Amino acid sequence: MSLRMPPSHAAGGGLLRMWASTPLLKAERLTLLTIVAVGVTVSLVLVLVESPDDLASSLFQLALTASFAAFVWSPLLASVLLLAAMCASFAVGDEMAALVALAVAVGAVVRTGTRPLLVLFVGGFLLSAAAAATYAAHGITVSNFAATLTVAAVSGAVGYLLTVAAAKEQRLQTRLQAQGRAEIEATLAERQRIADELHDVIAHDLTVIAMYSRVLDQPIDQELREQSQQTIRDAAQKALGDLRRVVEQAQGPAILAETSRESLPDALENARAALRAAGDTLHVEGHPADPRIPRVVDAALARIVRESVTNVLKHGGRGDVDIAIDVSSDGVRMTVRSPMATATRRDEIPSGGYGITRMTARARQLGGELEAKQVDDAWVVDVSFLLE
C-alpha cells in the first residue's frame, strides 16, 4: 500500500524546492551587482535625456535591469520579476528588450536556481517568445527570434560552466578544510605522543633524584651519602639520555619504531634497586622472562612497572612491594601491591594523576585491561592481556 502526500503538502514542498538556491560565490556576486549598477546608471542617464514619449520605455528598461540584482538573494524572486516584466512589456511595447533579458537570465537561473525553477523559467521564456512573435506591437522577425534563442543557449551554457566551476571550488574548499583539520589533529597527536614519552621515560628518574636529594638533607653516614650522590648522578644522566632520545623521536616516526625498549626483567631489577635505596623491598613472584610474553606486551608491562614504582616512591607507605606475574596460554596478568601511606607525607612529591591514565591507555591500546584501586591497606594495580 503506497502513501501519497496530501496535495497541499506536495505543492508546498515543490514551492520550497523552487525557492531553494545555490549561493553565488563572492566574486560572482560582486560581478553581477557591478553589471547591474552600470546598467541602472546607463538607464538613469537615458531617462534624463529621453523625450517624454520614450520615458515609459526607459523606466521599464531600468526596472528590467535592476531585477537581475535579485539573483544574489533569491532566484525565484528574480525569475518572477522578469516574467512579470515580460508580461508588462506588451503594455509599453518593449517586448524585444524583455525577451533578451529573459534569454540572458537563463544563465543566472541555471547557476543559482533549482531544476524545477529552471524548467518553469525556460517554459515561461518559450511561451513569452511565442506570444511576442504573435502579439508584439512592433513584431519580431525570425532572425530576432533565432538570435534570442541563441543568446539563451549561450547564457545557459555559461551558467552551467559556472555551476561546474563553483562545485569544483566547493569540493576543493571542503578538501582543504578537511586537510587542515587533519593537520591540526596530527599536530595534537604528535604533541600528545611526545608528552607521553617524556612522562614515561623521565618521570621515574626525576622522582628518584627528588627523593635522594632529600636524603642528602638528613644526617647520614659518608657511605650512604656517596651512594645517594652516585644514584642522583646516574638518574640525571639517564634522564638526559632519555630526553635526548625523545627529541630524536620527534624528528620522525621511523626513529620511534627503531628505538629499543626496556624489558620487563630489566624494569623489575631497576625497580628493586630504587625501592631498596628508599628502604623498601621488592618481591617478585612468577617468571617475567617467560618467552610466551609478546615483545609489545613485555614493553607495556615494563612501563607499567616503572610507573607503579614511581607512584610508590611518590605516595606509597614504607614496606614490601609485591609483584605477581602469571603467564598462561590464554594471557598475561600482573599485579602490583604496595602499602598505602598511613598519613599524608609533608614531603610528598606533587603529581597530576597522569601516570594511572597513561597506564590504563597503554593497556587498552594492546587490548588489555588495567584497574588501580585501594584494597584494605594496600594500593593494587592489576593489569591483564589476552594472548591469541
Q: Region 287-307: what's the mean pLDDT?
A: 86
Last residue of a domain, one of 105, 140, 175: 140
Q: Region 29-40: what's the mean pLDDT?
A: 83
pLDDT band for position 57 (50/70/90)? confident
Cα angle 132, 133, 135 (rounded to 5 degrees) comes to 60
pLDDT band for position 324 (50/70/90)? very high
Q: Give the pLDDT of residue 343.
A: 58
> Dihedral (C-alpha) 234, 240, 245, 250: value to the nearest 10 degrees?
160
The answer, yes or no, to whether residue 25 has pLDDT greater than 80, is no
Query: Which of 8-17, 114-123, 181-190 is predicted least confidently?
Result: 8-17
Q: Give the pLDDT of residue 258.
A: 39
In a domain, 255, yes or no: no
For residue 112, what are the domain limits?
A: 10-140
User: Which of 88-97, 122-131, 215-224 has the highest average model confidence (pLDDT)?
Assistant: 122-131
In a domain, 356, yes or no: yes
Spatial separation of the C-alpha atoms in residues 59 and 40, rounded to whole Å: 10
Q: Give the pLDDT of residue 214.
A: 73
Q: For residue 247, how many C-alpha atoms fall within 13 Å in the half-sphere facing its CB?
A: 6
Spatial separation of the C-alpha atoms in residues 18 and 26, rounded to whole Å: 22
Q: Region 303-319: what's the mean pLDDT?
A: 82
Q: Region 99-105: what's the mean pLDDT?
A: 87
Say how many Å lie between the first and final Cα of the chain, rounded: 53
Spatial separation of the C-alpha atoms in residues 158 and 115, rounded to whole Å: 16
Spatial separation of the C-alpha atoms in residues 256 and 377, rounded to whole Å: 40
In a domain, 54, yes or no: yes
Number of independent structural domains in the chain: 2
pLDDT band for position 68 (50/70/90)? confident
pLDDT band for position 285 (50/70/90)? very high
In a domain, 364, yes or no: yes
Q: Give the pLDDT of residue 254.
A: 41
Q: Give the pLDDT of residue 323.
A: 93
Last residue of a domain, one of 140, 159, 178: 140
Query: Which of 8-17, 162-171, 230-239, 357-366 is predicted least confidently?
Result: 8-17
Q: Give the pLDDT of residue 335.
A: 93
In a domain, 221, yes or no: no
Q: Region 199-224: what's the mean pLDDT?
A: 73
pTM > 0.85? no
Spatial separation of the C-alpha atoms in residues 21 and 23, rounded to whole Å: 6
Helices (H) and strands (E) in the chain, counts: 12, 5
Task: Check residues 150 and 351 and name the one with the higher pLDDT.
Answer: 150
In a domain, 177, yes or no: no
Q: Are 374 and 363 in contact (CB under 8 A)?
A: no
What sign results for the dihedral spanned by CA atoms 188, 191, 193, 195? negative
The answer, yes or no, to whether residue 125 has pLDDT greater than 50, is yes
**Amino acid residing at 161:** L
Find, among 359, 341, 334, the residue nearest to 284 by Cα. Answer: 334
The answer, yes or no, to whether residue 207 has pLDDT greater than 70, is yes
The length of the chain, given as a count of residues: 388
**Which residue do the cell numbers 635505596 mark?**
277
Cα–Cα distances (Å) from 271 to 61, 274, 312, in that order, read 92, 5, 10
Last residue of a domain, one of 122, 140, 158: 140
DSSP secondary structure, 202-227, as one string: HHHHHHHHHHHHHHHTS---HHHHHH
The answer, yes or no, to whether residue 387 has pLDDT greater than 80, is no
Phi-psi region of 279 (alpha: psi -120 to 50; beta: other; left: phi over 0): left
Q: Give the pLDDT of residue 342.
A: 67
Q: Give the pLDDT of residue 31.
A: 84
Q: Chain-wide mean pLDDT for the chain?
A: 77
Q: Which percentage of the chain shows pLDDT scores above 90?
A: 6
Residues contacting 99, CB < 8 A, separation 6+: 86, 89, 125, 128, 129, 132, 140, 148
What CATH number should be reported for the domain holding residue 330? 3.30.565.10
In a domain, 145, yes or no: no
Q: Region 343-351: what's the mean pLDDT?
A: 51
Query: pLDDT tens digit string along 215-255?
Result: 777 777 787 777 778 878 877 877 776 677 666 666 655 43
DSSP designation for 324: E
Identify the H or E element spanning 379: strand 378-386
In a domain, 385, yes or no: yes
